[in-house]
């Protein structure tokens, strides 16, 4: 973290607030020192807690939490603000007062209301790993238990008691403390996983005097864009923040770029449809869809972008290559080069600022975190322009980018496919194209790309694949061509990047990167479902390294790779049905589960609490073993049912069987 941060004491923390029991656990962010405070009928540590919190406040020591800004920090502020009232209360009285405040925090969250104290008003500063990872976003929403599953935490445990439970024994208190310590330690693991994010936010906070320690990427983009807009325009942040452009309709013909044209009939018709389109600006999502079948590629158009693919396994022979071309910073550059801007902002100032960000990013090495900051600001602007809560909101600005973007990209796709003899279009997706061409046509390919760049005033970046496995546009495995490197780079890369391919020929060293998208990603973001990683790994090793899936999964001894994860929402619960001593038994389970497929186990069932519907989590004959708590046993004792995993692997491989083209393709 920051140097200033490193020399101080800070604490990863969590509170548990039951109706007559309040527990706080704090672990030093660098050591294993733990402090535990309890207020109940058996303990009253409120005075010791105040000594600790006062020291935190005086020494400017921070608290690190999961969802702390909306809960734990609010409790801390409540305690500090009410010190004179609470310090001489009994343990139960303190617990009852904290419980009332805790329920207020939860109710505010459920109602999507602001908490009592903003981040700036907190008496002890917070780093909220939930917020900074943007796990409060509906598309990424994740509980601590879900993240525990994703990072292979040894103990994925829900709160063992309901918050209204009467805590009438020390045994129950110890149970809660054990649970709270587990949450704190897993939060600390997330903090360590997020170190680079925290360091970046710390440097931005210090540089711009904006509290960004717990800021998500979109919030960083908004805050810094707002800061720079105020500097450039002289308009106050308050005025900018309250500006929007609301529209009833968008006449697409008025926003189409003049250079758009096609030689292919199907795309001429598509362009005409866009030219005659009038959009309801308040109801854009899903309001326009069009499908074009082009030389075997199924191309889908909408208002958000273009996606097209011809399913197959592509392995060029010695005379062919797969070219991959991406538009550099496509959406930002499209706006910059064509002077697009939200209508309520000064156009020239906005465009100058946007271009300045792009130019500044180019000056900074990618290894420098500042490069990433400018990338965030550049890329987030498009999304924020379609967010009615953002000061960049103008849906016409969004449509100018997405509609012109997909049509411009399709121009490139068709120009290359039509003009190059023997070209085989494979895929187009948002900001790039993949096309198989004869190697001798590479100069022609580059000339056409240059022509397109001159027409659009955009730039392309190029690469080549030696193999492309594409079941659909959102999920694929690509192996780039080999690049020669020096011996030291080869050795260093080999030790750190097992996903690369390596080879030595005639004393020379080469490596090739691989690219995995969608369900073939080997390193998923923590909010994503990483269920049955063994399947992705086996498919990757089959297509990339030629390993037999059956042999591969038998040699993998990481039990977490065989685990699935699942969760239920409020109207559902989990049940576990199993046979014991010849009798079928059923028990209720917690709301987040980790499990694997075993020869001996039971069935995990989702049960709807309103209508009593039952749905099997895993359909078919397969049995599941609950694995929320890691068990260190001999491998054979896990009794894994390999048949389930092999069945999934084989179905996936079979679904990606190559399509027959011409003898220009060497089939896998």
Q: What is the pLDDT of residue 500?
A: 86
Among residues 333, 281, 288, 321, the alpha carbon closest in space to that of 306 is found at 288
* CA separation for the pair 25, 32 (Å, rounded): 12
Within 10 angstroms of residue 302's Cβ, the number of other Cβ atoms is 17
By the 8 A CB rule, do 305 and 430 touch? yes
Among residues 384, 457, 452, 386, the alpha carbon closest in space to that of 418 is found at 452
Q: Kindly report the CA angle at 335 between 329 and 338, in degrees rounded to 5?
A: 120
* CA separation for the pair 557, 538 (Å, rounded): 13
Residue 312 φ then ψ, to 5°: 165, 175
Two tokens at 419?
């003009």
Those residues whose C-beta lies under 8 Å from the C-beta of residue 281, and which sit 6 or more positions away, are 246, 247, 248, 249, 250, 395, 396
* CA separation for the pair 316, 666 (Å, rounded): 6
pLDDT tens for residues 249-258? 999 999 999 9
Q: Give the range among 65-79, 489-503, 558-572 with minimum mean pLDDT.
A: 489-503
Beta strands in 542-590 (DSSP E): 563-567, 572-580, 583-589
Q: Give the range among 128-132, 342-346, 483-487 with minimum mean pLDDT.
A: 483-487
How buried is 96 (Cβ within 10 angstroms: 0-12 exposed, 13-18 middle, 19+ buried)? middle
Two tokens at 469?
């496995």
What is the pLDDT confidence band of residue 6, given thresholds at 50, 70 and 90?
low
Residue 54 has pLDDT above 80, yes or no: yes
Q: What is the mean pLDDT of residues 622-650?
A: 97
What is the pLDDT confidence band of residue 491, given thresholds at 50, 70 and 90?
confident
Q: What percent of the chain shows pLDDT beyond 90?
A: 84
Q: What is the pLDDT of residue 268?
A: 97
Residue 3 has pLDDT above 50, yes or no: no
Residue 311 has pLDDT above 80, yes or no: yes
Residue 667 has pLDDT above 60, yes or no: no
Residue 662 has pLDDT above 50, yes or no: no
Residue 615 has pLDDT above 50, yes or no: yes
Q: What is the pLDDT of residue 7?
A: 53
* CA separation for the pair 300, 208 (Å, rounded): 43
Burial 200-213 (b: 16+ CB within 10 A, else e): bbbebbeeeebbbb
Q: Give the range among 380-384, 492-496, 508-512, 552-556 with minimum mean pLDDT.
A: 492-496
Burial 532-559 (b: 16+ CB within 10 A, else e): bbbbbbbbbbbbbeebebeebbeeeeeb
What is the pLDDT confidence band of residue 657, given thresholds at 50, 70 and 90?
low
What is the pLDDT confidence band of residue 8, given thresholds at 50, 70 and 90?
confident
For the chain, the maximum distance between any two Cα atoms, rounded to a whole number of angstroms, is 87
Residue 381 has pLDDT above 90, yes or no: no
Higher pLDDT, 490 or 116: 116
pLDDT tens for residues 182-240? 999 999 999 999 999 999 999 999 999 999 999 999 999 999 999 999 999 999 999 99
pLDDT tens for residues 498-540? 778 888 998 898 889 999 998 899 889 999 999 999 999 999 9
Q: What is the pLDDT of residue 665?
A: 34
Q: Kindly report the CA angle at 515 between 512 and 517, in degrees rounded to 5?
A: 170
Question: Quick one: how many helices (H) and strands (E) in the chain?
Answer: 22, 27
Residue 490 has pLDDT above 80, yes or no: yes
Q: What is the pLDDT of residue 660?
A: 34
Q: Average per-residue pLDDT in the chain?
A: 93
Angle, helices 347-363 vs 369-384, to 10°: value is: 150
* CA separation for the pair 79, 576 (Å, rounded): 41
Q: What is the pLDDT of residue 17?
A: 98
Pairing state between β 460-472 and 475-480: antiparallel
Q: Edge-to-edge strands of the sheet including 623-626?
A: 563-567, 592-598, 623-626
Those residues whose C-beta lies under 8 Å from the C-beta of residue 303, and which sit 6 or more positions away, are 279, 284, 285, 287, 288, 399, 402, 403
pLDDT tens for residues 395-433? 999 999 999 999 999 999 999 999 999 999 999 988 999
- The three state secondary structure string of 487-539 is HHHHHHHHHHCCCCEEEEECCEEEEECEEEEHHHCCCCCCCCCCCCHHHHHHH
Q: What is the mean pLDDT of residues 274-293?
A: 94
CA distances 285 to 303, 330, 377, 395, Å, are 8, 21, 24, 11
Residue 308 φ then ψ, to 5°: -150, 145
* CA separation for the pair 40, 49 (Å, rounded): 13
Among residues 542, 564, 543, the alpha carbon closest in space to that of 552 is found at 542
By the 8 A CB rule, do 544 and 509 touch? no
Those residues whose C-beta lies under 8 Å from the C-beta of residue 356, and which sit 6 or more positions away, are none
Q: What is the mean pLDDT of residues 312-341?
A: 95
């Amino acid at each position: 973290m920051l140097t200033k941060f490193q020399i101080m004491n800070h604490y990863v923390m969590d509170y548990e607030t039951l109706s007559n029991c309040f527990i706080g656990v704090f672990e030093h962010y660098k050591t294993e020192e733990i402090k535990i405070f309890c207020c109940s009928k058996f303990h009253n540590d409120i005075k010791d807690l105040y000594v600790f919190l006062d020291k935190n406040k005086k020494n400017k020591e921070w608290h690190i939490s999961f969802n702390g800004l909306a809960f734990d920090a609010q409790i801390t502020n409540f305690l500090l603000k009410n010190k004179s009232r609470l310090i001489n209360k009994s343990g139960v009285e303190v617990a009852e007062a904290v419980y009332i405040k805790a329920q207020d925090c939860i109710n505010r969250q459920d109602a999507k209301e602001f908490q009592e104290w903003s981040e700036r008003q907190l008496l002890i500063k917070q780093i909220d790993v939930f917020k900074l990872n943007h796990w409060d976003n509906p598309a990424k929403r994740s509980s601590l238990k879900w993240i525990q599953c994703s990072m292979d935490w040894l103990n994925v445990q829900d709160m063992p008691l309901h918050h209204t439970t009467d805590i009438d024994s020390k045994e129950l208190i110890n149970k809660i403390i054990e649970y709270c310590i587990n949450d704190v330690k897993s939060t600390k693991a997330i903090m360590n996983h997020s170190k680079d994010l925290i360091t970046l936010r710390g440097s931005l906070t210090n540089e711009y005097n904006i509290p960004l320690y717990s800021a998500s990427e979109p919030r960083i983009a908004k805050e810094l864009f707002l800061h720079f807009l105020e500097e450039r325009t002289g308009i106050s942040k308050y005025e900018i923040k309250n500006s929007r452009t609301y529209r009833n309709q968008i006449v697409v013909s008025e926003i189409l770029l003049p250079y758009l044209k096609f030689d292919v009939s199907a795309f001429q018709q598509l362009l005409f449809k866009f030219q005659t389109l009038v959009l309801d600006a308040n109801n854009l999502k899903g309001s326009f869809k069009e499908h074009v079948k082009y030389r075997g590629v199924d191309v889908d158009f909408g208002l958000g972008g273009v996606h097209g693919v011809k399913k197959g396994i592509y392995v060029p022979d010695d005379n062919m290559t797969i070219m991959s071309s991406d538009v550099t910073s496509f959406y930002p550059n499209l706006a910059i080069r064509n002077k697009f801007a939200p209508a309520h902002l000064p156009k020239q100032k906005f465009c100058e600022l946007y271009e300045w960000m792009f130019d500044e990013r180019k000056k900074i090495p990618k290894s420098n975190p500042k490069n990433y900051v400018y990338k965030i600001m550049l890329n987030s602007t498009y999304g924020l322009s379609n967010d009615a809560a953002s000061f960049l909101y103008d849906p016409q600005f969004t449509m100018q980018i997405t509609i012109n973007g997909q049509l411009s990209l399709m121009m490139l796709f068709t120009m290359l496919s039509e003009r190059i003899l023997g070209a085989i279009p494979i895929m187009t997706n948002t900001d790039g194209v993949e096309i198989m061409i004869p190697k001798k046509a590479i100069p022609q390919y580059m000339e056409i790309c240059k022509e397109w760049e001159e027409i659009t005033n955009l730039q392309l970046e190029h690469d080549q694949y030696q193999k492309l496995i594409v079941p659909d546009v959102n999920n694929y495995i690509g192996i780039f061509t080999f690049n020669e490197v020096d011996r030291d780079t080869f050795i260093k890369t080999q030790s750190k990047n097992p996903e690369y391919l390596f080879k030595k020929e005639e004393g020379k060293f080469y490596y090739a990167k691989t690219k995995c998208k969608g369900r073939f990603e080997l390193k998923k973001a923590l909010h994503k479902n990483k269920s049955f990683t063994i399947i992705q790994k086996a498919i990757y090793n089959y297509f990339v390294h030629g390993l037999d899936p059956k042999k591969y999964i038998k040699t993998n001894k990481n039990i977490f790779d065989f685990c699935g994860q699942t969760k239920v929402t409020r109207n559902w619960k989990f049940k576990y049905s199993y046979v014991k001593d010849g009798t079928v038994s059923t028990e209720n389970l917690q709301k987040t589960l980790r499990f694997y497929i075993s020869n001996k186990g039971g069935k995990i069932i989702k049960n709807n609490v309103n209508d009593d519907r039952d749905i099997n989590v895993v359909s078919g004959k397969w049995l599941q073993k609950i694995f929320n708590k890691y068990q260190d046993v001999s491998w054979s004792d896990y009794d894994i049912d390999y048949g389930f995993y092999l069945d999934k692997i084989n179905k996936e491989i079979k679904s990606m069987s190559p399509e027959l083209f011409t003898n220009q393709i060497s089939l896998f």
